Structure 1
Amino acid sequence: MEQMILTLIAALLVTSAASIQENSTVTPVILIPGICGSQIDGWYVKDSAPHYYCQKDSGGWTLLWLCIDCMIPPTISCWIDTFKLDISDVKNIKNRAGVQTKVNDFGYTDGIGYLDEHHFVVQFEKLIVGLEKLPGYQRGISIRGAPYDFRYTPNTKVGQQYMIKLRYLIEETYELNGNTRVVLVAHSMGNPVTVRFLKSVTEEWKEKYIEGYVALAGVFGGAAKAIRSLLSGETEGMPQIIVDPLTMREFERTSPSVYWLLPNPQLFGDTPFVFSHDRNYSAHDYKALFEDVDIPQGPEMYDFIKDLPQFDREIGVDVYCIHGKDQETPFQFQYGDNSKFPDNQPTTLSGDGDGTVNIQSLELCKEFTTLRDYKTVTGFLATHLEILQRKDVIQYIADLLTKKNLKKNNDIGRKGDLVF
């Protein structure tokens, strides 16, 4: 009799544990950042530096992106010398000699919540905090980050290694959460990265591991701003009175991801983007433009990425798309003094978009064959980065996760502006 009682108690305990596991199971989410959206650490011992005051030996791992202190003149040239890539062999792009880099906190959230150690530059943190309030959601278990070295594209060696790591992370997250399928939430360039990943895995694998994909502010057809980065430099939101865009340009011209984000010729056609005294340049004229402004590796870099699609209609998972609109967005660039072109800052003509990505590129997400919902946001915090901080967008993602309404069906959901 005693043995029967013990057996019954054991059975009840197993049933209770299984019930707790079942009740605590949540739909896990993996956050995939965009360009400049991941913390990157560096460890370097260099033989040379551009100035006597530049440190040649870091003495260990140190934050390179985003190191705000490093970007204040005159030390920014020291930082550029460390962070730029060696593109002497375009098929083997790598860090410059003596520099090692790694993303910070892969699989967790510290590397994507804030970009700097002072927590001035917020990235996914507000979204993460919003999801943490949901029952059962925890950082590092059901809320996970997939940061990557945004300087590289998926067809580089570093990019290919990331694709492998991302697959393992998804499988691990699935198992950590009671074999529950994962929702991917990508922002900015993280969207074409996600598209390339989803095209690299089988339909059977996606059916097992992926519950859905939320595309936030997707750069599916490039952005005109990338042209200005290569010609005259971009300060990535930092005041030009402090950060010289021409100094930043030295790094940006070595990053294949900047070339990857150039406006797609098939999408933008013959629309001119650059106006100089001698000629105008459209998306069909990149090689001529690079030659005319003396970017030696430009044509070869463009050849390296031009056959790497940013978008594909058939990705085999349910898609939920959100982006901003009605924001002044860089579109065309007029250069006045031809003797200084492109070393002078152009007059920028704006078009519609989210402040960073042009509307033509954002709206490509309508073309996904498995689109389940498409929404746009306007007004306050509708810009490219700030969309991650909007309460209505955070609530939308939370509702998708908790209401388990990520069901496969043949009906596209309600379209239009989010109104709360």
Structure 2
Amino acid sequence: MYIKMIPALLLVAVMNPTDGATLNPVIIVPGDAGSRLDAVLNKTSVVHYLCRKESRLYNIWINLLELIPPVIDCFIDNLRLVYNNVTRTTSNSPGVDIYIPGFGDTNTVEYLDPSIQVLAAGYFAKIVNSLTEWGYVRGQSVRAAPYDFRKAPNEMGVYFIRLKNLIEDTYIMNNNTPVVLLAHSLGGCVSLYFLNNQSQSWKDKYISKYVTVSVPWGGTIKSLLLFTSGYYFESRRMRRLERTMSSSAFLMPSDKFWKSDEVLVMTPFKNYTVNDYKEFLNDLDLDSAYQMRRDTEQLIRDLKPPGVAVYCVHGQDIPTPHMLVFDSDRHRWPDDHPRYVLGDGDETVGVRSLTGCLRWVGQQQQDVNHQVFPKEKHLAILFGDYFIDYLKSILFQNN
């Protein structure tokens, strides 16, 4: 086993596909908020008079019209999850059914908003377009496995059955050719959990390579924003949704990556470390979130090797939050956005978490390849020519 570093400047000159060669098919596993969601409503009550009680199937994520105040309150109530501390699972908001469209296809991960299909607003659009230029065919040799990103892997049993069937089906569709899994961000954590639960003989037969991009192997400090001030647009409103998602708890920083005396959240009243999650979430009156953290903290905590050839890719050399600081005045706990103590990373995930894949060196027989693209951000890396050229070199290196 070895670590293979390929200088970025050499990646411009990559191999062209060999005539008649069988391409290893690619299956995309998207990241957090990277799958389109559809909804059907049949509610008995609503949070605002503008909200609908009933609807046919419609796109709820991502739909920019749903994010305009005060309609965003309808969106949040429709997309929130409800935790059951007996079954230790979440369910949809009462009267709401959520569906993940496009399983096996790529369109729903190329463009998350179906009404805006321009490259600048895309997700995997540039990558899929590049794959088709290299000889790949949508729906046959390049496919996608979107999922309900609100949930952590412990609630994704049905999805994993579908993912396994998709891999096997894609293998057969492409002349019994092993598959390349291409996973971004949370999708890397989800797919690692999946691979850890497959037999080695199955992986040897069906998986050729595992390409991971911008993966928070040990969690991310920014996930703590989801429980405090909120992270995305209209953050105070959106945190009402983010706090109900088991994937938010799943992405909290791991005690395998942060020391017990490292402060993650500083407030005028107390400081919180990885050993203080119960107190942290209880102080926010979020007992359900703490229960979800208990449900998810062990899922990939030990970072068991995937047992397949790994190509671990990420950006770095970008200031990235390493601590959240809530001052007593301008950055009030927990409602105002905190200031950051910054360190190295890809703007979203710290470098210590991004490089978690290096722990597999010497732990598995298969190669562990590591490629860093300086100054490439967590999401923007998917649009970068250097990464796309590197992906091409991976796909065609044996042809």
Do these two structures clear the TM 0.5 threshold for a shared fold by scoring above it? Answer: yes
Q: Specify whether residues 276 and 372 from structure 1 end up closer, same or farther in structure 2 by C-alpha distance, changes over 3 A only.
A: closer
Cα distance between partner residues in 2 of 1:404 and 1:124: 24
**Contact 2:326 2:334 (C-alpha < 8 Å) held by counterparts:** yes
Shift >6 Å, 4+ stretches: none
- 1:143 aligns to what? 142
1:181 offset after TM fit, Å? 0.5
SS at match of 1:79: helix
- 1:404 aligns to what? 398
Cα distance between partner residues in 2 of 1:150 and 1:303: 18
Q: Specify whether residues 305 and 52 from structure 1 end up closer, same or farther in structure 2 by C-alpha distance, changes over 3 A only.
A: same
Which structure would you say has the larger RCO, counting Cα contacts within 8 Å and 6 or more residues apart? 2
User: Partner amino acid for 1:349?
Assistant: V
Are 1:394 and 2:391 an aligned pair? no
Are 1:292 and 2:288 an aligned pair? no
1:312 offset after TM fit, Å? 2.3
Cα distance between partner residues in 2 of 1:110 and 1:325: 29
Cα distance between partner residues in 1 of 2:284 and 2:79: 23
**Contact 2:105 2:144 (C-alpha < 8 Å) held by counterparts:** yes
The equivalent position to 1:201 in structure 2, one of 195, 198, 202, is: 198
Cα distance between partner residues in 1 of 2:371 and 2:208: 19
1:24 offset after TM fit, Å? 5.7
Are 1:252 and 2:246 an aligned pair? no
- 2:174 aligns to what? 177
1:352-382 deviations in Å (ceiling 9; x for gaps): 1001011110011112233432110013xx0
- 1:358 aligns to what? 350
Equivalent residues, number: 371
1:94-115 deviations in Å (ceiling 9; x for gaps): 1011111111211010110011
- 2:324 aligns to what? 333
Cα distance between partner residues in 2 of 1:341 and 1:148: 33
Are 1:161 and 2:161 an aligned pair? no
- 2:268 aligns to what? 277
Are 1:226 and 2:218 an aligned pair? no
**Contact 2:266 2:325 (C-alpha < 8 Å) held by counterparts:** yes
User: Partner amino acid for 2:250?
Assistant: W
Give the gaps of 5 or more residues in structure 1: 1-21, 236-242, 406-420
Give the gaps of 5 or more residues in structure 2: 1-18
Cα distance between partner residues in 1 of 2:234 and 2:307: 43
**Contact 1:212 1:318 (C-alpha < 8 Å) held by counterparts:** yes
Cα distance between partner residues in 2 of 1:340 and 1:75: 27
Cα distance between partner residues in 2 of 1:121 and 1:91: 36
1:201-245 deviations in Å (ceiling 9; x for gaps): 11111111011101111110000000011111111xxxxxxx320
- 2:371 aligns to what? 375
**Contact 2:256 2:302 (C-alpha < 8 Å) held by counterparts:** no
SS at match of 1:266: coil
Cα distance between partner residues in 2 of 1:394 and 1:73: 38
Cα distance between partner residues in 2 of 1:215 and 1:371: 14
Are 1:107 and 2:104 an aligned pair? yes
Aligned-pair identity (%): 36
- 1:385 aligns to what? 379
With normalisation by structure 1, the TM-score equals 0.85
SS at match of 1:115: coil
Q: Max radius of gyration: which structure?
A: 1
**Contact 1:195 1:310 (C-alpha < 8 Å) held by counterparts:** no
1:316-363 deviations in Å (ceiling 9; x for gaps): 100011100011112211112389521222112221100101111001
Cα distance between partner residues in 2 of 1:322 and 1:375: 5
SS at match of 1:211: strand
